[in-house]
Structure 1
Amino acid sequence: MTEVEITADGPSKGEFRDVMGRFASGVTVITTTLDGEDLGAAASAVSSLSDEPPSLLICLNVTSTTAQAIVKTGTFAVNVLAEDSAPIAQRFASKAPDKFQTIAVERGQTGVPLIAGCIAHFECVVDETVRGGTHLVFLARVVRVSSKPGNPLAYFRGSFGRMETAPDAAALHAVRDYVVGAVTDEAQPLDAEAIAAELDIEVGRAYQSLVALTTEGLVRRTGATFQVEPVPDQVIFDYYAAKLAIEIGAAAQTVGAVGPDQLAELRALLEATLEYSVDGQFSDPEGWIRANNAFHEYLVGLAGSVILTETYKGLRLPAMEQRAIRESTRATAALHDDHRAIVEGYEKGDVALVLRTLTAHAKRPQETRAEAAAAAGLVS
């Protein structure tokens, strides 16, 4: 067995806190009541200890008034905050004199306050208290639990955020596509239950996805209701700027370096896009969007980077294109000409032609919007 020498020189306080900050955790509020006064403190240091009997441990700074109250009462509750509860976490992490002002609470079995809207509550009785450095560690039996559906508030690198599991991510992508496709130049109401039914996902995930999309500016929330907001043109143009950056990088690496089979597939994907337009108009807009997306994803995929391809897919461009195509049927000729020039550039090994065409291609949404505005008489 290799012996490890432990020296007195460990990480500094700042180094330790910085590295620990890279450990993402859920956020809770520890609450108790003493002599008729409710007390609480935000805490992320909460851990399951045992399931026989059900037990957990929490850590609070020894100077915390909540910690000192728990020492005297021997009871507390762990309130697991929902992902939209950052203001509550900030309040209980502060030195505010009356943290419970405007906070809705219920009374637990032991009389401790339970914060309404949390996704879980644990009511606890202290079995043992241990001093560890600057903190008190309370080992406690859980005497009552409750929970409801929802995602937890997360804490990482000094900021609050949301935890996203793989199913949540898939639901979020699907709802984002739905919302972007529903965008018009006027606000429209959104029904979480209807969206869930149409997309075949759980209502809770549809609801949480709409909450998440409020941070992107796509959705506005008023109480329990949502509406899709008109997406500013600049947001759409920013998406296409990101698309261009990825495609330019992929093309710069791959033009002149791909084999005949890959060139043949790229041309086949080009030809597939032609099937969805007739006489300069989109005969099947949704079919064209799928074919166009397949063409561009294949181009990016030529770089051979899974990460790059997944980043490109993450832009969710097909949903954005629904809006542009809905507003113009005159862009098909330019789009097809661009595709032909890109394929010809690949076949000739002409990187300058491909990069120049990709740059022009990325400007087509702006041209389409300008055409739509002119047709509506919004510009002279």
Structure 2
Amino acid sequence: MDTTALTVEPSKWEFRDVMGRFASGVTVITTHEDGRDYGAAASAVSSLSDEPPMLLICLNVASSTAQAIGRSGRFAVNVLAEDSGPLAQHFASKSPDKFGSVTFERGQGDCPLLAGSIAQFECVVEDQVRGGTHLVFLARVLGVSSQPGNPLAYFRGSFGRMETAPDAAALHAVRDYVVNSVSDASTELDADRIAAALELEPSRVFLSLVALSSEGLVRRSGATFEVEPVPDQVIYDYYAAKLAIEIGAAAQTVGHVTPEQLVELRRLMEATLEFVDGEEFVDPEGWIRSNAAFHEYLVGLAESVILTETYKGLRLPALELRTIRRASTKASVKLLEDHSAIVAGYESGDLEGVLRTLAAHAKRPQETRAAVAAAS
């Protein structure tokens, strides 16, 4: 087939202009050869194979880093974080001493591993070819590491932030699984087992666990994850977020709801009463379901899908099961009194009273845990 008849070959400048519209991540390729460190910023990095793990990189033939890699046969790929634009500029320059002001550790073959990178690949060259002005190195990956964070992007000649949409459904499902796995002893999490149980791809589970390690729900060591008893402060942070959403909803709705909505709000509040008998919760799980229905309805009065979904996304019922499985009489009475006061405030249009009660209500989990600890 004669491809010359299909199109006219673009000029160098046309090609660069069009390629500039392709956003890519930014890395620093490093190597060590004969007692000297080399490094260059590069965006031409690509996965080649996962069995065995291999990748390829492209560097200009005139690059001293490319020439050093050709001699040493080793290099490291440092994937830069979104705030590393100055570091990328530094390694894109022709500075004679690129490592003098840079923090790094030594990897395999003494290749520099730059501090603050969100991912690193340590590689050994298996083959190299020349393509026009560049050398292409095909390499086997000997080691990898990663840290939470967003990547630095390169687009139209500028560095910037690469926005990624999180897989909310997977994250919510894994968060629920993790919280329900919490016990009085540390437990190692098996990503493959979680993926099978939730019918999710293992890669989505892994990314969700990485995100949960940033939240403090999971402790991470490399590719291993462990869930420990949820720290009190993590629980209180969730309740602080809950309070912020409920205050926003109340500010929009108190004094502006229909009689029918007030009747339903009171019905949901009274439905929580059947799960408390005297001095204890007789059915903690039933209470939590009923309590969640009451609070979600309250937030839903604002008629904002985004607000309601954000509230549900906190996944508070699973945490509450561990917070109030056994509560003192005082704690139980206060929870019920709060609900009654909130409904009364809605019925009378008393916004200040509702906001005051919501603030006190948000502190009940902390009071409950303190009461349980004192009793034990």
- Length-normalised TM-score, structure 2: 0.64
| Alignment match of 2:99 (pick from 83, 95, 101) | 95
The whole-number CA distance in structure 2 between the counterparts of 1:69 and 1:199 is: 47
- Residues 117 and 192 (structure 1 numbering): CA distance in 2 closer, same or farther, change over 3 Å? farther
Give, in angstroms, the shift of residue 318 of structure 1: 2.0
Matched position secondary structure for 1:95: coil
The whole-number CA distance in structure 2 between the counterparts of 1:267 and 1:342 is: 9
Q: Which amino acid aligns with 1:155?
A: P
2:325 match: 326
The whole-number CA distance in structure 2 between the counterparts of 1:320 and 1:286 is: 11
The whole-number CA distance in structure 2 between the counterparts of 1:269 and 1:204 is: 40
1:369 match: 369
Deviation string, structure 1 residues 168-223 (Cα, Å, up to 9, x no partner): x3222222223233334543333333333333323333333223322222222335
Q: Which amino acid aligns with 1:301?
A: G
1:235 match: 234
Indicate if the aligned counterparts of 2:174 and 2:205 stay in contact, CA closer than 8 A.
Answer: yes
Indicate if the aligned counterparts of 2:219 and 2:227 stay in contact, CA closer than 8 A.
Answer: yes
Matched position secondary structure for 1:215: helix
Deviation string, structure 1 residues 68-92 (Cα, Å, up to 9, x no partner): 768x99x999959599xx9xx99x9
Q: Which amino acid aligns with 2:230?
A: V
- Residues 123 and 32 (structure 1 numbering): CA distance in 2 closer, same or farther, change over 3 Å? farther
Indicate if the aligned counterparts of 2:32 and 2:75 stay in contact, CA closer than 8 A.
Answer: no
Q: Which amino acid aligns with 1:261?
A: E
Matched position secondary structure for 1:338: helix
The whole-number CA distance in structure 2 between the counterparts of 1:346 and 1:171 is: 36
2:351 match: 351
Indicate if the aligned counterparts of 2:31 and 2:75 stay in contact, CA closer than 8 A.
Answer: yes
Matched position secondary structure for 1:226: strand
Give, in angstroms, the shift of residue 333 of structure 1: 3.2
Give, in angstroms, the shift of residue 336 of structure 1: 2.3
Q: Which amino acid aligns with 1:234?
A: Q
The whole-number CA distance in structure 2 between the counterparts of 1:236 and 1:267 is: 27
Matched position secondary structure for 1:220: strand
The correspondence of residues 165-204 of structure 1 with structure 2, limited to 5 A, is 165-167=165-167, 169-184=168-183, 186-204=185-203
1:128 match: 132
| Alignment match of 1:155 (pick from 144, 151, 157) | 151
Give, in angstroms, the shift of residue 373 of structure 1: 0.8
Deviation string, structure 1 residues 82-109 (Cα, Å, up to 9, x no partner): 99xx9xx99x96627997932389xxxx
Matched, 1:220 2:219: yes
The whole-number CA distance in structure 2 between the counterparts of 1:294 and 1:46 is: 51
The whole-number CA distance in structure 2 between the counterparts of 1:312 and 1:364 is: 18
Give, in angstroms, the shift of residue 40 of structure 1: 4.8
1:298 match: 297
Matched, 1:66 2:65: yes
Q: Which amino acid aligns with 2:217?
A: L
The whole-number CA distance in structure 1 between the counterparts of 2:122 and 2:281 is: 48
Give, in angstroms, the shift of residue 279 of structure 1: 4.0
- Residues 78 and 186 (structure 1 numbering): CA distance in 2 closer, same or farther, change over 3 Å? closer
Q: Which amino acid aligns with 1:273?
A: T
- Residues 103 and 291 (structure 1 numbering): CA distance in 2 closer, same or farther, change over 3 Å? farther
Matched position secondary structure for 1:346: helix
Please identify, of 298-307 and 26-35, the stretch whose mean Cα deviation from structure 2 is larger.
26-35
1:52 match: none
Give, in angstroms, the shift of residue 292 of structure 1: 1.6
The whole-number CA distance in structure 2 between the counterparts of 1:229 and 1:358 is: 30
The whole-number CA distance in structure 2 between the counterparts of 1:220 and 1:162 is: 26
Matched position secondary structure for 1:328: coil
- Residues 127 and 289 (structure 1 numbering): CA distance in 2 closer, same or farther, change over 3 Å? same
Deviation string, structure 1 residues 250-291 (Cα, Å, up to 9, x no partner): 212211011123223322322333343444533332332232
The whole-number CA distance in structure 2 between the counterparts of 1:128 and 1:307 is: 51
Task: Give me the CA root mean square deviation.
Answer: 4.9
The whole-number CA distance in structure 1 between the counterparts of 2:127 and 2:198 is: 38
Matched position secondary structure for 1:227: strand
- Residues 312 and 229 (structure 1 numbering): CA distance in 2 closer, same or farther, change over 3 Å? same
- Residues 67 and 143 (structure 1 numbering): CA distance in 2 closer, same or farther, change over 3 Å? closer
2:5 match: none
- Length-normalised TM-score, structure 1: 0.64
Deviation string, structure 1 residues 21-50 (Cα, Å, up to 9, x no partner): xx985344546898999955353x3489xx
Give, in angstroms, the shift of residue 324 of structure 1: 0.6
1:268 match: 267
- Residues 243 and 99 (structure 1 numbering): CA distance in 2 closer, same or farther, change over 3 Å? closer
